[in-house]
A and B are shown apart, each in its own frame.
Chain A
């Protein structure tokens, strides 16, 4: 099920290095997938380069999502999955963000399709995307407190369930 042969992947890495020698922090190869870790500052220009370079042509941003590695720092990993439809290749760009400063450039100017993907990440992880035209919550109501896919957000939520008069407080560890 390998999607990139090692040769193709190294071409991408070389092209990115040739474009900007400091473009790549780390290259991860796992199960035939290539992850290129970028410094946060150059994410947008690197994405533009991936899209426009005649040898790369990653024209489809298929997915953008975040991983929270709390309590490790930098805790957030933004993953962008790119596809080059003409070249039949996939690539993952990754940017690592600190928990104290979870801000990254929006890719909306490069791919308008990043709009809702980034809104979802903002909603569920609280990552700020600079340059996003409409950064609002998308799945949760505007009044929601916190970002539920963060690891420090408990599955049951933060807030207590309101106790109706005449009922006892619910407890999760009670045996049935």
Chain B
């Protein structure tokens, strides 16, 4: 591999520049080796692994319920999505049916999560391209969402709220007015961001026509999520392979054909608006009383009250927290539409309480491999814009 010290290669005409791993616009610790001819990128080689923490190996050493907390730490901008896909994979292995109420709570939470993740993306992307104030506004609204998460899960970021068979806790008292107020407020706030950016000449100049990839190439490079939909392919897991009762919700899958940084920006803004719609519907569907966990003795921990009167409940409680539970041998692959694309979880079980293999199909890792394709031939200033629109989270890229 070329190193930054090989500064002069190919007939003294090009220069190799090291971007990252500490560069603020790489959104973490991504290193990109750029070979430049003047200001034009001739070749780009991403170098990953600075945040590799061996989460997949650790999952093999933990019981199924213990591993949920590890999943929070991959895509730290969308921990609920990670919880969800992991729990869905385990539920698939077990053949467990989740109660409708829990499914709607899950939908509400992951849609709020999508808005918050897109807000962080929008704010940081704008700051990368020089629009300082959008960042402050985006984080103002994100704070509201984190407060909602804290209400529901007791945690702002590493929520671990979604559990195998349902969710951890009943929605807290007084959650409706809080969520309602946020959903009412949010559309006007999105209008505000759009006023700042969508017609802004500098913004258009920095994003229009930058980082184009054709629809065929995007599919060939296994891209998913907003990057694929901006290339005109309406592939959204919520619509194509519905999970968590998404088939009951009314929402649009926004697509565009321009497939540049501006298109991807517009897609994400449109998705935030759709998420508000879905969250409203989910709110209406969540009843005030009902089950939040599946009935599955030996898998779902029993209620505290039951343990005091029933011996079986006490035994199950002890067994779940010492030994864990053993799904039948087999393999399951669950996927959801995370804010970044198709997030998948593949679990192979050998019938023991620990998984034989847990693998996460992380969308930002796979989307990132198209980065050289996006930036080759572009100006060095556009590299930042391209890294931004792929929307990578290095915790998920390196796992």
Contact = CB atoms under 8 A, between A and B. Distances in A.
Interface string A104-135: 00000001111111001000100000000000
B93 A139 contact: no
Question: Which of B243, B335, B350 is most buried by chain A, counting CB atoms within 10 A of its CB?
Answer: B335
Given A90-B241, A148-B54, A155-B57, A65 B331 contact: no
A31 B349 CA distance: 13
Contacts of A77: 348
B220 A88 contact: no
B241 A116 contact: no
B48 A139 contact: yes
B369 A30 contact: no
A39 B348 CA distance: 21
Contact of A115 (B333, B348, B369): B369
Give chain B's interface secondary structure class.
mixed
B267 interface: no
Interface in A9-36: 30-31, 33, 35
Give chain A's interface secondary structure class.
mixed
Contacts of A69: 350, 356
Nearest to B363: A62
Nearest to A148: B57
Contacts, number: 106
Interface string B318-336: 0000000000001111110
Contacts of A149: 56-57, 357
Given A141-B49, A148-B54, A68 B357 contact: yes
Contact of B398 (A90, A137, A139): A139
B361 A79 contact: no
A85 B333 contact: no
Nearest to B93: A31
Contacts of B224: 60, 62
Contact of B344 (A59, A63, A113, A139): A63
Contacts of B221: 112-113
B330 A30 contact: yes
B240 A33 contact: no
Interface string A62-82: 110111110000000101010
Given A1-B92, A92-B333, A81 B344 contact: yes
B95 A112 contact: no
Contact of A59 (B48, B52, B219, B348): B219
A117 B61 CA distance: 23
B332 A139 contact: no
A161 B200 CA distance: 55
A67 B348 contact: yes
Contacts of A93: none
Interface of A: 1, 3, 30-31, 33, 35, 59-63, 65-69, 77, 79, 81, 83, 85, 88, 90, 92, 111-117, 120, 124, 136-141, 148-149, 155
The 7 closest A-B pairs by CB, nearest first: A113-B222, A63-B361, A139-B49, A65-B359, A30-B330, A116-B369, A139-B52
6 contacts: A30-B331, A62-B224, A69-B356, A137-B49, A138-B48, A139-B399
